[in-house]
Amino acid sequence: MSKPLFVKMKEEDNVAIAVDDIKEGQEIMPGVVARHEILQAHKIALLDIEKGGPVIRYGVVLGYATEPIKKGDWINEYMLELPEPPDVDHMVFSTNLVTDLPQPPVTTWEGYENPWGGPGGTRNILGISTTVQCVTGVLNVAVERMKRELLHKYPNVDDIVPINHAYGCGVAINAPEAKVPIRALRNLSKHPNFGGQLMVAALGCEKFTVEMLCDSADINKDNVIILQEKEGFEDMITSLMEMAEKKLQILNERKRVTLPLSDLLIGMQCGGSDAFSGVTANPAAGYASDMLVKGGATVLFSEVTEVRDGVYLLAERCINEEVGKKLASEMKWYDHYLQEGEVDRSANPTPGNKKGGLANIVEKAMGSIAKSGTSPIVEVLSPAEKPSKKGLIYAATPASDIVCGPCQLASGIGLQVFMTGRGTPYGLAIAPVIKVCSRNDMKAQWQDLIDINAGTIASGDSTIEEIGTQLFHEIIDVASGRKQTWAEKYRLHNDLCIFNPAPIT
């Protein structure tokens, strides 16, 4: 069977994307000859499109032609006028509730029970929370010593991770939107991978106080160290080391046990996307998501600007009006947030996204939502909220990789699946990240950074179902500690960028 030259998503589409570079003059289908060189993942017009006419991919209007487009033309971002965003005030809810989901091959995994309640842990980590960035220098020195002098004595503990961040002081702590970073840091302090052991390093004069971070019952000398109460640097380090060793002794007793999928919470995210992301990697992730949900697991997907133009499709999947209205509310909140900064959702696509064939945010959004699969949406979360339901959940977050990740961690994910077309070495210290690439060329280039190659879907060598099932098994194996991801192996850990929409003073 010959390799396909292009991918057309829906019958009504008047454009397709090139599987590989297409030469000028090359016939891609009867009656359609490339009038220019078409680079891999970029769009070629299948029909003549008049000025002002719709350019259609995924069965939706990506934009309107700013000039006449001839059949066989290369279509790029400069040739499209962005359509108005979908109205969120008059969406229809609960009209597309799919319950015929693929059966998962297994319904259990090997994880750690969560002493705080909620989803199980995928790793056994000593997490050290902080109230303010000012303590980072001291804490980093202490953690380096902990890893060198203590960690080897406790073989059942995977790592020691400081929860460093840029929040805590010089901020409008009582501003209404300060609830977002405060909620994130509170939830991070009791992540499922921390095994019920709370450890906090504070300075003593910060606005984000220990009382804001911790429940009152947890504020004691066994959990909290305030540096301004110590007699110099060595006393600070000694105190941190002594507390850490007590916590490590307890964590070392944790053992993996067989847990149902209902105790597994994972996140879906994409970054460095290209025009193949919505063809291969994201649909495969969506298929794995449907399997997980069918088995009782909980799956979060996020990134407001990358669903905004397809939000009406998500509304149809909300299980009831309450969930649908929360979805609309989150979209409106973010619209206002962007307007305050005098930008809109069109600020999202990066130069790399466009180089990878994505013309605008509409096209990017249509590919992005594919990672949610087809399951009904049972809940919508504000940034960094914890879920109260099981199943598929939309967790509203910024689209920025390094902000979305911490938001999902604060919601309690024990593992993240990250789809990419252009490539990124992104990783999280608190939870493993599985990388799924959209193109064969990406896997060939980054053999030792990409965990799953979905590019074989575009080349016709695999199906979405096959790669989705492979990814499902990878999720279970990584969550169960039987495998490490490449990012985990190399310890590729991004800084925690806590979403703070409140003013900085």
What the block records as the tokens of 311 is 């939000």
Give the pLDDT confidence of 218-260 residue by residue, as tens digits. 999 999 999 999 999 999 999 999 999 999 999 999 999 999 9
> How many other β-carbons are positioned within 10 Å of the β-carbon of residue 423?
22
E-state strands within 261-367: 265-270, 298-301
Share of the chain above pLDDT 70, in %: 100
Contacts with 234 (C-beta within 8 Å, 6 or more apart), sequence order? none
Chain-wide mean pLDDT for the chain?
96
**Residue 345 pLDDT:** 87
CA separation for the pair 381, 399 (Å, rounded): 15
What pLDDT, in 10s, does the model give residues 451-494? 999 999 999 999 999 999 999 999 999 999 999 999 999 999 99
Residue 77: phi, psi to the nearest 5? -65, -25
- Sort residue 130 into left (φ over 0), alpha (ψ -120 to 50) or beta: beta
Q: What is the pLDDT of residues 114-172, one digit of tens each?
A: 999 999 999 999 999 999 999 999 999 999 999 999 999 999 999 999 999 999 999 99
Q: If you average pLDDT over residues 24-42, what whole number do you get?
A: 94
Helix 401-410 to helix 179-189 angle (10° resolution) is: 60
Please, which pLDDT band fits residue 174 given cuts at 50, 70 and 90?
A: very high
Tell me what pLDDT residue 212 has: 98
Lowest mean pLDDT segment, chosen from 59-73, 286-300, 349-363: 349-363
Query: How far apart are the C-alpha atoms of 1 and 405, rounded to whole Å?
Result: 41
For 174-202, what is the mean pLDDT?
A: 98
CA-based nearest residue to 467, from 190, 276, 223, 304 = 276
27-56: average pLDDT: 95
Q: List the structure tokens of 480.
A: 């169960």
DSSP-assigned states of every residue in 165-200: -S-SSSB-TTSGGGHHHHHHHHHHHT-GGGTT---E
- pLDDT number for residue 287: 98
Closest CA to 428 of 500, 499, 496, 498: 496
Residue 4's pLDDT is what? Answer: 85
Cα–Cα distance measured from residue 62 to residue 71, given in angstroms and rounded to the nearest whole number: 17
- Whether pLDDT at 1 is above 70: no
Q: How far apart are CA 459 and CA 439, in angstroms?
A: 9
The angle that helices 136-149 and 233-251 make with each other, rounded to 10 degrees, is 50
The predicted pLDDT at position 293 comes to: 98
With residues binned 3-state (H G I as helix, E B as strand, rest as coil), the percentages for the chain, rounded to 5, are: 35, 20, 45
Task: Compute how many other C-beta atoms are within 10 angstroms of the C-beta atom of residue 77.
Answer: 17
